[in-house]
Structure 1
Amino acid sequence: MDNILLKYMENRFQTKIIPPKKEIFCEGPVVTISRECGCTAINIANLMVEKLNATTGKNWSCLTKEILEQSAKELNLHPAKLEYVFNSKEKSTWDEIIAALSSKYYHSDRKIKKTIAEVVRTFACKGSCIIIGRGGVVLTHDIERSFHVKLQAPLEWRAAQLQKIYKLSMEEMIKYANEIDQKREILRNYFNRNALPNTVFDVIYNCESLTDEQIAESCVGLMEKKGVLGKHLVI
C-alpha cells in the first residue's frame, strides 16, 4: 500500500505535460480542423475528402471518433472511459488512488493524454487524413505538409444552429456553446502549454457567411497553392 501511494505521488507531481514522440519524420499531408461549438466540421471534412480523393488520387479519411477508439484500444479500455479527457475533466487525487488500487488496467490522466497525442501523431504521419479537434493543430503543426483550419461564427448564430439539434432555449444554447469552447481550449492548451494564438491556423472561416461547399472548395484550393498536396497531385 505504501509503495503504491509513493509511486502515485511521485508520478502526480512530475511535470504535468508529456509531449508526444516527434522523433519519427512525418511527411503528411494532414489537415486539422478546429471549430467553435455550433460550427459543424464533419460536413466540411467529408466534402474535402471527396475533393481530395479526386484531386490527389489517394484515399483520404476523416478522423474524429477513430482517435478515441484507437487510444482506448492501446490502453485496453472502453472508449467511454476516455471521454472525460475530452470534456476537460481530471480525476481527483483520491479518485486516481482508488482507481490504481482497484483496476489492473489503471492509467493516469497524463498517460491517457500522452496516448491520445501519440495516436494523433501516428495517424498524421500516415498522411492523407483530416483530423477534427483532438488537439490536432498543436500535435501536427511541425509537419511541413500540413494545413490548419479554424471554423468560427458569431455566438448567437452558433447557438441558433445548436437549437435545431437540442431544441432548447437560446440562453441554454449560448451557455452550452461557451462551456464546450472552454473545454476544447483547455485540451489544446494542455498539449501546447500556453493559449494558442490564431496565427497557428493557415485560414479562419466564418461559417455564418460561407457555405460548407465554399469552405471545402477554398481549403483544397489553398492546400494546392501552399504545396501541401505536393507530388501526389493527379495530372
Structure 2
Amino acid sequence: MDNLFLKYMRERTGRRKSPKGPTFDSPGPVITISREYGCPGRRIAKKLAQTLTEKNKAQGNKREWRWISKEIIEESARELKLSPALMKELSEYKERTFFENLALFFSDEYYPSDVKIKNTIAKFIYNASVEGNVIIVGRAAEAITKNFVNSLHIKLKAPLEWRAQKVADALGMTLQEARREAIEMDHRRDAFRNYFEKERPDIDYFDLFFNCATLSDEEIIESIVILAESRGFVV
C-alpha cells in the first residue's frame, strides 16, 4: 500500500512536472547511488533502471536506462592494461602503507599509482555520465558529476546493527565479524570518496538520503522515480 508521502508527491509532481526533458547541450541525465556497506545499492539500481526504461517506453521514448557498477572496474582495467581482478584489488578502497607502495614500485609487474587508478575511474564515470540515461553505483560518482545540471544524487544509509545483520546473512559471518567488516568497508569507501570530495560533508553532494532499515526497496525506488520525472529525466 502506498504511503501518504508518495501519494502527495505524485500529485504534486503531476501538477508541476516540467514539460521539457534534459537539454541536449547538457550532459546526462545521470543518477548516482552511494551506500553504506550492507545497503542494497546494486539491487535498487537495477530495479530503478528497469522502471525508468519502462516509463520512457510508455512515453514513446525507446532509449533505455542502464546501471553500472562492476563495469567501472572492468573498463578502467582495460584502459590501464590490467586484469579486472588486479584492478579490483588495487582499487578496493584500501589505503596502502609506505612500504606496500615501495614494494609495488620495485615489482616486475606494472602497478599504476593510486592517483592514476582513481583518475582513470573518474574518467570512465564522467564519460558514461555524459552519454546520459545511466545510474552509477559507488566510486564517488556523486562528486565527479555534481556539477551536471541533469543529475540526481542518492545516498542509502541504515543503522550499523541492521547492516551487520544483512552482511552476516549474505556472507555467512557471525554478527561480530559482519559488524567489523561493515565498519572497515565504510572507512575504506570514505577514504576513496575523500580523494574527490576533500572531506566535505555529505550534504554538499547528495540530494536525497534514504534509511534502508525503515523503507522498502519499492518505496525508495518510487520516491526516486517521482523526483526523476519532475526533473524531466523521463520524456
Return the TM-score normalized by structure 2.
0.81
- The structure 2 residue matched to 1:128, chosen from 126, 130, 133, is 133
Percent sequence identity over matched residues?
Answer: 36
Kept in 1: contact 2:157–2:211 (CA 8 A): yes
- The structure 2 residue matched to 1:175, chosen from 165, 177, 180, is 180
Kept in 2: contact 1:188–1:196 (CA 8 A): no
1:71 aligned residue:
76
Matched, 1:158 2:166: no
* Structure 1 residue ranges without an equivalent (≥5): 1-24
Kept in 1: contact 2:68–2:134 (CA 8 A): yes
Matched, 1:86 2:92: yes
Distance 1:109 1:155 in 2: 29
C-alpha deviations, 1:105-156, integer Å up to 9, x for none? 4422211111111011011111111000011111111111000000011111
* Structure 2 residue ranges without an equivalent (≥5): 1-24
Kept in 2: contact 1:147–1:228 (CA 8 A): no
Distance 1:145 1:60 in 2: 14
Count of aligned positions? 203
1:210 aligned residue:
215
Kept in 2: contact 1:96–1:108 (CA 8 A): no
C-alpha deviations, 1:1-27, integer Å up to 9, x for none? xxxxxxxxxxxxxxxxxxxxxxxx751
Distance 1:55 1:224 in 2: 9
SS of structure 2 residue aligned to 1:86: coil
2:54 aligned residue:
54
Distance 1:228 1:149 in 2: 17
Q: CA, structure 1 residues 93+180, in 2 after alignment: closer, same or farther (shift >3 Å)?
A: closer
Distance 2:196 2:103 in 1: 23
Cα deviation for residue 96 of structure 1 reads 3.5
- The structure 1 residue matched to 2:121, chosen from 113, 116, 119, is 116
RMSD: 1.7
